[in-house]
Amino acid sequence: MAVTDLRPPPGGLRARLPGAAGLRRAAGRALLAGPVISFAFVLGLWAAVGAAGIVPETIFPAPWSVWAATAEMWSMGTLQKDLSVSLSRAAVGFAIGASLGVSLGLLTGRVPVIRMLLNPFLTVLRPIPAIALVPVAIVWFGIGEGSKYFVISYTVFLTVWFNTHHGMEYVPETYLRASRSLGASKLREFLTVIVPAAAPYIFAGLRLGVALAFLSLVAAELSGASSGIGYRLQEARQYIRTDRMFSLLIILGLLGAAVDLAVHRIGKRLVHWEQS
Amino acid sequence: MTDHAQGHVRVEDVSIRFDGKSGPVTALAPTSVELKPGTFTALIGPSGCGKSTLMNAIGGFVAPSSGRITLDGQPIEGPSDKVGVIFQQYGLFPWFTALGNVRFGLKRLGLSRREEIERAREALDEVGLGAHAGKFPQQLSGGMKQRVAIARTFAFGPKVLLMDEPFGALDAQTRLVMHELLLKVWQKHRATVLFVTHDVDEALLLADDLRVMSQAPGRLLRHYQLEQARPRSFSRSGSDLLDIRDEVIGLLHPRSMLAEPA
Identify the CA nearest to B131 among candidates A7, A275, A273, A4: A4
What pLDDT is stored for residue B48 in this prediction? 80
Whether A62 and A44 map to the same domain: the answer is no
Chain B hits for A4, Cβ within 8 Å: 128, 177
Closest-CA distance of chain A to residue B179, Å: 11
What pLDDT is stored for residue B193 in this prediction? 95
Whether A153 and A66 map to the same domain: the answer is yes
Reported as a single tens digit per residue, the pLDDT across A45-92 is 999 998 998 888 888 999 999 999 999 999 999 999 999 999 999 999
Whether A35 and A102 map to the same domain: the answer is no
The DSSP secondary-structure symbol of A33 reads H
What pLDDT is stored for residue B55 in this prediction? 92
Reported as a single tens digit per residue, the pLDDT across A216-265 is 888 888 777 889 999 999 999 999 999 999 999 999 999 988 999 999 99
Whether A30 and A167 map to the same domain: the answer is no
Q: How many domains does chain A have?
A: 2
Instruction: Identify from A181, A188, A190, A273 which residue to disrupt to test chain B contact, counting B C-beta atoms within 10 A and taking the largest count.
Output: A181
Whether A276 contacts chain B with CB within 8 A: no
Residue of B nearest to A8 (CA): B141
On whether residue A2 sits in a domain, the answer given is: no
B68 contacts B57 by C-beta, under 8 angstroms: no
The last residue of one of the domains, among A18, A34, A54, is A54
Whether A143 and A253 map to the same domain: the answer is yes
Whether A138 and A30 map to the same domain: the answer is no
Per-residue pLDDT averaged across A182-195, rounded? 92
Which CATH number belongs to the domain containing residue A115 in this structure? 1.10.3720.10
Ranges of chain B with pLDDT below 70: 1-5, 255-262
On whether residue A192 sits in a domain, the answer given is: yes
CB pairs under 8 A between A and B: 91
Instruction: Dump the DSSP string for A88-99.
Output: HHHHHHHHHHHH
What pLDDT is stored for residue B129 in this prediction? 94
Closest-CA distance of chain B to residue A208, Å: 23
- For residue A26, name the pLDDT band (cuts at 50, 70, 90): low
On whether residue A32 sits in a domain, the answer given is: yes
3-state secondary structure of A43: helix
Instruction: Dump the DSSP string for B93-141.
Output: -TTS-HHHHHHHHHGGG---HHHHHHHHHHHHHHTT-GGGTTS-GGGS-
Chain B hits for A196, Cβ within 8 Å: 93, 95
| Domain carrying residue A178 | 58-270
Identify the CA nearest to B58 among candidates B177, B172, B189, B196: B196
Whether A32 and A132 map to the same domain: the answer is no
Given an 8 Å threshold on Cβ–Cβ distance, is B128 in contact with A4? Answer: yes
Identify the CA nearest to B123 among candidates B140, B141, B100, B139: B100
3-state secondary structure of B29: strand
From the centroid of its chain, how far is CA B135? Answer: 25
Whether A156 and A42 map to the same domain: the answer is no
What is the enclosing helix (H) or strand (E) of A199?
helix A195-220
The predicted complex's ipTM stands at 0.85
Whether A99 and A18 map to the same domain: the answer is no
Reported as a single tens digit per residue, the pLDDT across B83-116 is 999 998 899 999 999 999 999 999 988 899 999 9
On whether residue A3 sits in a domain, the answer given is: no
Say if residue A276's pLDDT is above 80. Answer: no
What pLDDT is stored for residue A12 in this prediction? 43
On whether residue A1 sits in a domain, the answer given is: no
Rounded CA separation A183/B78 (Å): 11
What pLDDT is stored for residue A2 in this prediction? 43
What pLDDT is stored for residue A19 in this prediction? 56
What pLDDT is stored for residue B3 in this prediction? 45
The DSSP secondary-structure symbol of B11 reads E
Q: Name all domains of chain B by residue range, CATH numbers in brackets.
A: 1-82+192-257 (3.40.50.300)
Reported as a single tens digit per residue, the pLDDT across B1-44 is 444 458 999 999 999 998 888 888 888 889 999 999 999 999 99
Whether A75 and A46 map to the same domain: the answer is no
On whether residue A201 sits in a domain, the answer given is: yes
Identify the CA nearest to B105 among candidates B89, B88, B90, B92: B92
Burial class (CB in 10 A: 0-12, 13-18, 19+), A186: exposed
Whether A26 and A126 map to the same domain: the answer is no
Whether A46 and A145 map to the same domain: the answer is no
Rounded CA separation A142/A217 (Å): 16
On whether residue A276 sits in a domain, the answer given is: no
- For residue A6, name the pLDDT band (cuts at 50, 70, 90): very low
On whether residue A109 sits in a domain, the answer given is: yes
| Bond into B46 cis (ω within 30) | no
Chain B hits for A185, Cβ within 8 Å: 108
3-state secondary structure of B32: strand
B155 contacts B133 by C-beta, under 8 angstroms: no
Given an 8 Å threshold on Cβ–Cβ distance, is B138 in contact with A273? Answer: yes
Chain A hits for B92, Cβ within 8 Å: 178
For residue B24, the cross-strand partners are: B19
What's the distance, Cα to Cα, between the start and end of chain A in Å? 35
Chain B hits for A273, Cβ within 8 Å: 94-95, 136-138
HSE, side-chain direction, 13 A CA sphere, residue A105: 30
